[in-house]
């Protein structure tokens, strides 16, 4: 059975929290709303600025408004057109991850957690609670030059968590894992990363085959997508070690 055979009633019953509504998170949120995931919880601390105009999802009239409001309102309008039977419930939180008092509640209420944050510390904070509540976390990131990126799926206590990667210097040095924030945002890379992140999220929600720990994307020369279907977590990881 293929992913296109999705049963809308199953997706309607699912909830996903998305941390980070930037160049990647906006696309993830819109795709999940359009396929009919029943509840989307959006968390972000920023307002739309002029420098965001090179990213998909934001328009000049959005300048100065919180990103969660802009995208939340857009998703509600999309949901209205779907009709009441497949309406999408949208919850938004304008907050820094570290000040977010409801972080454990929204994660524990979610069937899958998506992180599209641009800061390692914030990612590790989300990783901490996803592992604690044994929720599958799908994290993404782009490289400094904007031409490489990755999607990482954390199955707590089974596959490496984000800390397993970030505490592994050799993986960071070999470029398997980004250790810096993306400075150059290219909509090409971001749309590809967002699509792969949503693909993995839908397969998790629908309990389908094809979910993998790590996908690397490289558009520096010939386009490359490298899939890692087996990676071991670190014994000495402070989050998920054994």
- Separation of alpha carbons 141 and 193, rounded Å: 8
Q: Least distance to Zn ion from the beta carbon of 127, Å?
A: 8
In this chain, which of 40, 103, 120, 161 binds Zn ion, going by CB under 5 A? 161
- Separation of alpha carbons 19 and 116, rounded Å: 6
Q: Is 239 near Zn ion (CB under 5 A)?
A: yes
**64 or 134: CB nearest Zn ion:** 134
Return the residue matching tokens 């991850």: 97
Cα dist from 181 to 92, 125, 177, 178, 195, whole Å? 24, 16, 11, 8, 20
- Separation of alpha carbons 10 and 56, rounded Å: 29
Residues across the chain? 242
**193 or 237: CB nearest Zn ion:** 237
In this chain, which of 18, 107, 151, 237 binds Zn ion, going by CB under 5 A? 237
Catalytic: 182? yes
Q: Least distance to Zn ion from the beta carbon of 161, Å?
A: 3
- Separation of alpha carbons 62 and 20, rounded Å: 17
Q: Is 164 near Zn ion (CB under 5 A)?
A: yes
Q: Least distance to Zn ion from the beta carbon of 241, Å?
A: 6
CA-based diameter of the chain, in Å? Answer: 51
Structure tokens at 152: 């990482």
Structure tokens at 99: 């000040």
Judged by CB under 5 A, which stretch of 91-99, 118-126, 161-169, 224-232 contacts Zn ion?
Answer: 161-169
Q: Out of 112, 161, 182, 201, which one is annotated catalytic?
A: 182
In this chain, which of 26, 115, 143, 163 binds Zn ion, going by CB under 5 A? 163
Q: Is 240 near Zn ion (CB under 5 A)?
A: yes
**2 or 242: CB nearest Zn ion:** 242
Nearest-10 crossing angle of helices 25-35, 187-205: 40
Judged by CB under 5 A, which stretch of 103-111, 141-149, 201-209, 233-241 contacts Zn ion?
Answer: 233-241
Return the residue matching tokens 């944050």: 117
Judged by CB under 5 A, which stretch of 5-13, 42-50, 186-194, 229-237 contacts Zn ion?
Answer: 229-237
**14 or 233: CB nearest Zn ion:** 233
Q: Is 192 near Zn ion (CB under 5 A)?
A: no
Mention every residue, 6+ apart, whose C-beta is less than 8 A from residue 221: none
**71 or 154: CB nearest Zn ion:** 154
Mention every residue, 6+ apart, whose C-beta is less than 8 A from residue 11: 35, 36, 37, 38, 202, 205, 206
Q: Least distance to Zn ion from the beta carbon of 6, Å?
A: 31
Q: Least distance to Zn ion from the beta carbon of 166, Å?
A: 9
Site residues, Zn ion (CB under 5 A) = 161, 163-164, 237, 239-240
């Amino acid at each position: 059975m293929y992913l296109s055979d999705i049963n809308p009633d199953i997706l309607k019953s699912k909830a996903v929290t998305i941390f980070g509504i930037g160049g990647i998170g906006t696309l993830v949120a819109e795709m999940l709303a359009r396929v009919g995931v029943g509840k989307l919880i959006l968390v972000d601390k920023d307002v739309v600025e002029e420098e965001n105009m090179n990213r998909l999802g934001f328009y000049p009239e959005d300048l100065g408004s919180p990103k969660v409001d802009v995208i939340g309102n857009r998703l509600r309008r999309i949901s209205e057109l779907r009709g009441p039977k497949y309406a999408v419930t949208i919850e938004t939180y304008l907050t820094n991850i570290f000040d977010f008092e409801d972080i454990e509640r929204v994660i524990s209420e979610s069937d899958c957690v998506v992180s599209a944050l641009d800061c390692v510390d914030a990612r590790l904070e989300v990783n901490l609670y996803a592992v604690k509540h044994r929720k599958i976390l799908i994290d993404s990131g782009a490289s400094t030059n904007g031409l490489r990126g990755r999607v990482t799926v954390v199955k707590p206590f089974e596959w490496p968590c984000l800390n397993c990667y970030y505490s592994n210097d050799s993986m960071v040095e070999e470029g398997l894992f980004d250790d810096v924030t993306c400075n150059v945002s290219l909509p090409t890379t971001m749309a590809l990363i967002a699509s792969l992140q949503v693909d993995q999220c839908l397969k998790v929600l629908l309990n389908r085959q094809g979910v993998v720990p790590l996908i690397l994307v490289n558009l520096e020369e010939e386009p490359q997508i490298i899939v890692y279907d087996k990676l071991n977590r670190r014994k000495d990881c402070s989050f998920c070690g054994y």
